[in-house]
Structure 1
């Protein structure tokens, strides 16, 4: 899309995560605890826990913290029990938004999310009201300059769904969410390391926002991401530079 840079948006997101490392640790710890509680504390048989542990490693979280979170969630230690909850709605320009949270108090969390939507002129919808516009999948973003031919060959051979080259040179690899780890490791074994890799909710179609709308939408997204109980925010707004 004109004015929309996949790479710039990814770099902005990474920059915000780096600025708030302690908050990243908190979110990763919650993910570790929920994954361990739901699927057990053995990473060999719990792929969600393995992904959470990889996030912890990428955020430079000490291994002791990871082990503590697993022990806490599996009953070895007493602790707060978190549950997953998803909120959906619309923001500036009708952009669809999904907010995934982990909370020990759903009343508090929904009030905070609803307040953020209202503050920026958005509105929350019912469960499933926008999720149908997104695909649950694995996503890997490679920096401009990465060999497109090599990446496409390795990715498709490993079982990727698609390889997309964006106008700014960034290359995006989409995978079935269940095969994300296998494909990621195959790419790394071939010397292709993604700058950004996660299981995500990817929008089927984007809504272009520019000028004041883009600036306001970015502030809205920042507020949602800064809420204590937020784990992830997904949206279909393409924010022009």
Structure 2
């Protein structure tokens, strides 16, 4: 979203996540379980698991809890079978919304997602209905004041695709998902610590909403994010006074 204030958007999103801190462990544990089941329990050979474990450590999850859930996923302990499922739909003003879930009961999950969309002014769409409006990529965001030229040098040498400065001077680095780990390591080795480092679905274009429409859209997003099976919600709405959450 070049030209918009990525920094304001990120700060707003982080603030709302802090309000829901108690839910973060549950989501991280599900991500660890699925990542370990799909790619094995060796961090060196499983980038997705390594990223999930990094998130767990950042959220102060005990090492024993991390290990227990990796063991569950790899068969060392009995655990719950989660599967990944993605729902796509439309919010207020036709804003595109993606809801990524992990569930042990698809029937329950789709009913809850559909109910949230319909009750709060959106519509659940079909597979592929909005995903084309997003790019699956690695994303790193640095605070205003970070030297753009040095970040750019380190990022591009490590294989990043693009480096973008927003209106407030924050810097966003984008990479292919497979290049996320080497770019992350190169940036950290150069002394740059991102405020955000994740593999995400980044909206290619945004829809601006304000007033009652912005408030209604935020309510829909909050309800979707609060569903027990939700892992992440991505959208392309830029909410006046709030910022565009991704």
TM-score tier by shorter-chain length is: over 0.9
Q: Which residue of 1 aligns with 2:116?
A: 116
For the 8 Å contact 1:5–1:240, the answer to whether it is kept is no
SS class of match (1:44): helix
- The correspondence of residues 39-50 of structure 1 with structure 2, limited to 5 A, is 39-50=39-50
Matched, 1:166 2:166: yes
Matched with 2:88 is 88
Question: Which residues of structure 1 form unaligned runs of 5+?
Answer: none
TM-score by length of structure 1 reads 0.96
Counterparts of 1:121-160 in structure 2 under 5 Å?
121-160=121-160
SS in 2 for 1:41: coil
Q: List gaps (5 residues or longer) in structure 2.
A: 242-246
1:194-209 equivalences under 5 Å are 194-209=194-209
When normalised by structure 2's length, the TM-score is 0.94
Question: What residue in structure 2 maps to residue 186 of structure 1?
Answer: 186
* CA deviation map 1:37-93 (0-9, x unaligned): 111111111111101101101111111111000011111111111000000001011
Secondary structure at the residue paired with 2:146? coil
Q: CA deviation at 1:4?
A: 5.2
What is the 5 A alignment of 1:225-236? 225-236=225-236
Query: Is the 8 Å Cα contact of residues 161 and 175 (structure 1) preserved in structure 2?
Result: yes
C-alpha distance in 2 between matches for 1:140 and 1:236: 18
Residue 176 of structure 2 is matched in structure 1 by 176
Alpha-carbon shift at residue 155 of structure 1 (Å): 1.0
* Alpha-carbon distance, 1:200 to partner: 0.3
Preserved contact between residue 87 and residue 127 of structure 1 (Cα < 8 Å): yes
Question: Is 2:4–2:166's contact at 8 Å kept on the other side of the alignment?
Answer: no
Q: Deviations over 1:121-163 (max 9, x none)?
A: 1111111111111111000111111111111111111111001
Stretches of 4+ aligned residues off by more than 3 angstroms? none
In 1, Cα distance between equivalents of 2:212 and 2:196: 28
User: Corresponding residue for 1:218?
Assistant: 218
Q: Which residue number in structure 1 is paired with residue 244 of structure 2?
A: none
Matches within 5 A, 1:54-69: 54-69=54-69
Aligned length: 241
How well do the aligned residues superpose, as a CA RMSD in angstroms? 1.5
Distance 1:4 1:219, change over 3 A: farther
Shift of residue 18, structure 1, vs aligned partner = 2.3
Q: Deviations over 1:182-206 (max 9, x none)?
A: 1011001111110011000111111
Per-residue deviation at 1:21? Answer: 2.4
Distance in 1, matches of 2:126 and 2:237, equals 20
Q: Indicate if the aligned counterparts of 1:161 and 1:174 stay in contact, CA closer than 8 A.
A: yes
